[in-house]
Amino acid sequence: METRSNHVLVGAVVLILLAVLALFIVWLARLGGGNEREYDIFFKQSVDGLSPGSSVSFSGVPSGQVKDIQFWKPDPSLVRVRISVKPDVPILEGTTASIQGSFTGPSTVQLDGAVKGAPPIACPVEHPRAACPLGVPVIPTKQGGLGALLSSAPKLLERISTLTERLSDLLGDKNQDSIRGILANTNRLTKSLADRGPEIAATLAETRQAIEKAATAAEQIGNLAQTTNGVLSENVKPTIANLNETISAAKKSMQTLDATIGDARPGLQAFSKTTVPEVGQLVQDLREMALALTSVSQKLDQGGASSLLGAPKLPDYKGKK
């Protein structure tokens, strides 16, 4: 009974010592990594080859490790990778992160692009949740050389496969016959052109001469236009000037005639209202006098002067027997 109690006591003491040792190791680990800085990286590409504990390097220099890899729930197309780096690593504005793939080993996170004099990447004082959604600064990403090639390889292979299928359809039996016919026709055409070489050369020479004659004719037309412009400027301009003077004089004459008619208008109105009616009355009186004179002359012709002095003589009356 006592032996069994001793074994239980020894086991309990050993377990307590192991727990204290584990806590001491964790404390040392925290103490050694307490000065490390953490950053989040949101990758839109595949993170194949990365795992917690993967190496993080800055310009090829080992600088930290990957702490955690998780899906980003607000946007399932993004993968959040949290890294921790040494305090002396220059993570400044302009630093970018990429995945450096390898055919022989695990992938690593590559940091580069620090600019001299730039401030360090940190969470802003105003609206920190927008720039640092999980409370740590975010390093922007860029496509890595091999990583980008590996991520785009499936699409590239698919496009190559599609291109191969289309080339196979294009180079089918029917199309090959058509291509042979096109090549044969092209050969015949080139042979015909080679045989007609002298004629083509003669045609080109005639065309060159026609172009030269056209240039000469254009130059002559230009000279004629200049001469015509000179004649117009020397002969037509004086005539136009005289015509302008004549038109000005005619305008002045019309203005004078309008003024004269305006001055004579009151006299014309008086003549039409007073003199014209009197003249009409005079004409009527003359017409009546002419009628009276005509009547007198008829009486003189019929009865003589006595007809003007007394009544006409009655005819003799003869009684019945």
pLDDT at 236 exceeding the cut of 80:
no
Mean pLDDT over residues 192-202, rounded? Answer: 80
Share of the chain above pLDDT 70, in %: 66
Give the residue with greater pLDDT, 264 vs 290. Answer: 290
pTM for this model (two decimals): 0.41
pLDDT over threshold 50, residue 321: no
Spell out the domain ranges in the chain: 35-150, 152-188, 196-255
Instruction: Taking residues 1-22, report their average pLDDT.
Output: 74
Work out the mean pLDDT of the chain and round it to a whole number: 76
For range 217-242, the mean pLDDT: 68
Does the pLDDT at position 15 exceed 60? yes
Average pLDDT (193-198) is 79
Interhelix angle 173-195/197-231, rounded to 10 degrees, is 70
Residue 131 near residue 138 (C-beta atoms within 8 A): yes
Predicted local distance difference test score (pLDDT) of residue 317: 47
- pLDDT band of residue 84 (cuts 50, 70, 90) is very high
Q: Which residues contact 41 (CB under 8 A, 6 or more apart)?
A: 80, 81, 82, 83, 97, 109, 138, 139, 141
Q: Quick: pLDDT tens for 51-83.
A: 999 999 998 899 999 999 999 989 988 999 999
Q: Assess whether pLDDT exceeds 70 at residue 172.
A: yes
Give me the mean pLDDT over the 178-207 stretch: 82
pLDDT of residue 147: 54
Residue 104 pLDDT greater than 90, yes or no: no
Instruction: Report pLDDT for 263.
Output: 60
Tell whether the model's pLDDT for residue 98 goes beyond 60: yes
Tell me: pLDDT of 303 over 50. Answer: yes
Average confidence (pLDDT) over 231-258: 66
